[in-house]
Amino acid sequence: MHRPRSVRDADVAGKRVLVRVDFNVPLEDGRVADDTRIRAALPTLELLLERGAAELVLASHLGRPKGPDPAYSMKPVRARLRELLPEGGERVRLLENTRFDSREKANELALAEELAAHADLFVNDAFGSAHRAHASTEGVARLLPAYAGLLLERELAELGALLESPERPFIAVVGGAKVEDKIGVLESLAGRADRVLVGGKMAEEREALAPLGDKLVLPVDAVAAAAFEADAEAREVAVGDVPDGWLGLDIGPRTCEAFAAEIAGAHTVFWNGPMGVFEWPRFAAGTRAIAEAVAACDGHTVVGGGDSVRAVDELGLADRIDWVSTGGGASLELLEGKELPGVAAIPAA
């Protein structure tokens, strides 16, 4: 796996530094609703300020705007950043949403050149966007001396260890809706983990999962519902006994117990994806059971992917997980063994 050179080794004194951050945060009523991603970037920003950078110019996308849109302005993010970074804040400038410019996703050289003109060197700390070859992630890294930020470095170390040197037993837990969405990461994990526990809707696709071999552990029971509704009639049934027309919306209690026992004995755990429709309380028990088992595990634990991260956050368990990844798609692509363009563009250490 490509190991990019670190911001720790960059000479930044008196220089302008362009930093690609991942400030793609949820907004509510014109305010930042969850500042986790902003806080995750602070160590890199503080390091650059401490080492005498003349100016930090920050770039990030926010949401999926079709063009300039006040609903996706970085203004609330800018306000929250000022609160979190009072020391040296006058040397920090946050640009407007990179995706307001259609040239960003097209990775057009002209935009990369405009961004590069702001700075003397480039630091990429946006692991969550590292799998995108965009102007602000990959393009600009070809134009300026480029380095990996502390967050990007840690993400690569944590996820790279799962691929290269996990302490065994290594248990992977993967949930989600469709096998095709995660077949690459399932194949990769099946080749490396001692057990791969599969939950969510995709666990029903037994034929698609069969080629992955006997390392897979599938649910034995489910919480079935008469309709895809939060308050639908529901009952616990064996996997083969879901009534015609009903839907499995969560793993059942026996599966929860079996999965939790596998996790308890692990020395390394990776979890990505919910076990059911956890947004609805009646179908959240499986995801909650996995989150609690991972938090209680004495081994090294890594949680990656949006819904899994959301689950541990909502349950107040994030501080009991060794590493909670900031990247959803980027985490999965890295674990598949794919090259991440935003990482590959940075020279090796």
Summarize the confidence of residues 144-163 as an average pLDDT. Answer: 96
- Check whether 181 has a pLDDT greater than 90: no
Q: At what angle do helices 329-336 and 150-164 cross, to 10 degrees?
A: 40
**Mean pLDDT, the chain, as a whole number?**
95
Cβ atoms of 18 and 57 closer than 8 Å = yes
Q: Per-residue pLDDT tens for 49-71?
A: 999 999 999 999 999 999 999 99
User: 159-335 belongs to which CATH class?
Assistant: alpha beta
Listing DSSP states for 176-221 in one string gives -S-HHHHHHHHHHHHTT-SEEEE-SGGGG-HHHHGGG-TTEE--SE
pTM of the complete model: 0.91
Amino acid at 238: A
pLDDT tops 80 at residue 221: yes
**Catalytic (active-site) positions:** 37, 178, 306, 329
| Range 73-81 contact pairs with CB under 8 angstroms and sequence separation of 24 or more | 73/97, 74/23, 76/27, 76/30, 76/31, 76/32, 77/23, 77/25, 77/32, 77/38, 79/31, 79/32, 80/31, 80/32, 80/35, 80/38, 81/23, 81/38
Long-range contacts from 88-94, C-beta under 8 angstroms, 24+ separation: 88/46, 88/49, 91/49, 91/53, 91/54, 91/55, 91/56, 92/45, 92/49, 92/55, 92/56, 92/58, 93/55, 93/56, 93/57, 93/58, 94/23, 94/58, 94/60
Distance CA 53, CA 48 (A): 6
Q: Domain 7-151: give its CATH architecture.
A: 3-Layer(aba) Sandwich (3.40)
pLDDT given for residue 34 in this prediction: 87
What is the chain's length?
349
For the segment 304-321, the average pLDDT, to the nearest whole number, is 89
Residues of the chain with CATH 3.40.50.1260: 7-151, 159-335
- Distance (Å, rounded) from C-alpha 339 to C-alpha 130? 10
CA distance 231 to 228: 9
Model confidence pLDDT, tens digit, residues 69-97: 999 999 999 999 999 998 888 999 999 99
